[in-house]
Amino acid sequence: MNAPFPPSEVAASDATIASRPVLNLLIAAPRGFCAGVDRAIEIVERALERYGKPVYVRHEIVHNKYVVEGLKAKGAIFVEELDEVPDDAPVVFSAHGVPKAVPAEAKRRKLLYVDATCPLVSKVHRQAERQIEKGRHIIFIGHEGHPEVIGTMGQVEDGQMTLVETIEDVDKLPFDADEELAYLTQTTLSVDDTREVIEALEWRYPNIKGPRAEDICYATSNRQAAVKELAHDCDLVLVIGAPNSSNSLRLVEVSERLGTPAKLIQRAEEIDFAWLDGVTTLGLTAGASAPEILVREVVAALASYRPISEKTITAAEEKMVFKLPRQLTE
């Protein structure tokens, strides 16, 4: 991990900083937390208030180390599977969703559980159930091994859903053109890449059924649109997010697809100031699991190295709010 800035720069005077070229900083909006992440974090915090310490959380509640460590400090214990949860302890399921077998096991053990699955992910789960009821095999577009993919594929029986990631995967599908098929998608994918895969599916299977509205969530789409707004004016884009955060990785890809280099960082301490050599305009955004405090931390670190001229580039306004589970509000 790189130091926040070279040791020789730590004691840089205001005069030294002022002598360096101004860095034009374009900050994307919207950025950072989405409604589903806000809801998931509040669920853990409310569970701690209602049930006391500890509250167990199956998997990272969201993909952000800063958030997870903050909840640990408040009394949350993160585990991978339910068998790590004591019989008398409350447990929260992460925002990414879980296979049906997980709440079924919790009920069998009579565990007190709270489901923090993002409502937009739950919507995809219900769509999967309806397509299976109609006798269709589901082609699911997503990234293998991602918790959301595992959770969604776990809504149906083995063999009822096939995962594809690329156009090449579509070419390898074994189904006949006239078979009863439907497609669904992970909510945090690249809008552009997913459109290409859907087009390939619809070309090969003209009768395939898709969702009434796209499954990629509003927050993912809006954050990608914001990067598109600023990337063409930037020499480099920084994306604050975790390496296992799908939506954050997609923001890096969106910038690079437009020809602007991008770096994924989790904290300001990961910035290598050599990246700024020759950079006049820098873009900055944050994935949907990254809190605003980390954005300001990065801005402060940049301002400790070069003078900053800050401007916000707005692609959309977000007012979405999701209700909390009834068991935490009654």
CATH number at residue 54: 3.40.50.11270
Residues 208 and 137 in one domain: yes
Q: How many CB atoms lie within 10 A of CB 191?
A: 15
Which of 11-25, 137-151, 224-238, 294-308 bottoms out in mean pLDDT, i.e. has the lowest? 11-25
* 234 annotated as belonging to a binding site for a ligand: no
Predicted confidence band of residue 12 (pLDDT cuts 50, 70, 90)? low
How many independent structural domains does the chain possess? 3
Q: From the centroid of its chain, how far is CA 249?
A: 8
For the chain, what percent of residues have pLDDT higher than 70? Answer: 96
Residue at 189 is within a domain: yes
Average pLDDT over residues 85-99: 96
Of 62, 82, 115, which one is at a domain's C-terminal end? 115
Q: Is residue 110 part of a domain?
A: yes
pLDDT at 211: 92
pLDDT digits (tens, 9 = 90+) for 35-53: 999 999 999 999 999 999 9
pLDDT of residue 3: 41
Average pLDDT in the 191-203 region?
96
Q: Domain check: are 155 and 193 in the same one?
A: yes
Q: Is 148 a catalytic residue?
A: yes
Domain with 161 in it: 123-215
The whole-number average pLDDT for the span 113-141 is 97
pLDDT of res. 9: 44
pLDDT at 11: 41
Find where tokens 């594809």 sit: 164
Output the pLDDT for position 197: 97
Q: Give the tens place of pLDDT for each residue, 225-242.
A: 999 999 999 999 999 999
Q: Is 322 inside a domain boundary?
A: no
Pick the last residue of a domain from 83, 115, 147: 115
125 marked ligand binding residue: no
Q: Is 289 annotated as a binding residue?
A: yes
> Rounded mean pLDDT of 198-218?
93
Nearest alpha carbon to residue 188 among 291, 290, 288: 288
**How far out from the chain centre does Cα 235 lie?**
25
Q: Which residue has the higher pLDDT, 38 or 5?
A: 38
pLDDT at 34: 96
The proportion of the chain whose per-residue pLDDT surpasses 90, expressed as a percent, equals 92
Cβ neighbours for 296, distance < 8 A, ≥ 6 positions apart: none
118 annotated as a binding-site residue = yes
* pLDDT value at residue 1: 38
Beta strands 113-115 and 91-93: pairing type? parallel
Indicate whether 29 and 75 sit together in one domain: no
Among candidate residues 80, 115, 150, the one where a domain is terminated: 115
What is the average pLDDT across 150-158?
97
Report the alpha-carbon distance of residue 92 to residue 111 in Å, rounded. 10
Q: Which of 192, 196, 316 is nearest to 255 (CA)?
A: 192
- Residue 246 annotated as binding site: yes
Residue 327 lies in a domain: no
Tell me: pLDDT of 81 over 60.
yes
Please indicate if the annotation marks 96 as binding a ligand.
Answer: yes
Please state, in angstroms and rounded to a whole number, the distance separating the CA atoms of residues 86 and 83: 8
CATH number of 23's domain: 3.40.1010.20
Q: What's phi and psi for 211, nearest 5 deg?
A: -65, 155
Q: Which is catalytic among the residues 148, 157, 229, 330?
A: 148
Task: Report the pLDDT value the prediction gives residue 51, as an integer from 0 to 100.
Answer: 96
Tell me, what's the pLDDT at 8? 38
Is 3 a member of any domain?
no
| pLDDT reported for residue 16 | 87
Is 172 inside a domain boundary? yes
323 is a domain residue? no
329 is in an annotated binding site: no
Question: Measured in whole angstroms, how far is the alpha carbon of residue 2 from the centre of its chain?
Answer: 24
State the pLDDT confidence band at 214, using cuts at 50, 70 and 90. Answer: confident
Please tell me whether residues 18 and 55 are part of one structural domain: no
Asked if residue 193 and residue 137 are part of one domain, the reply reads yes
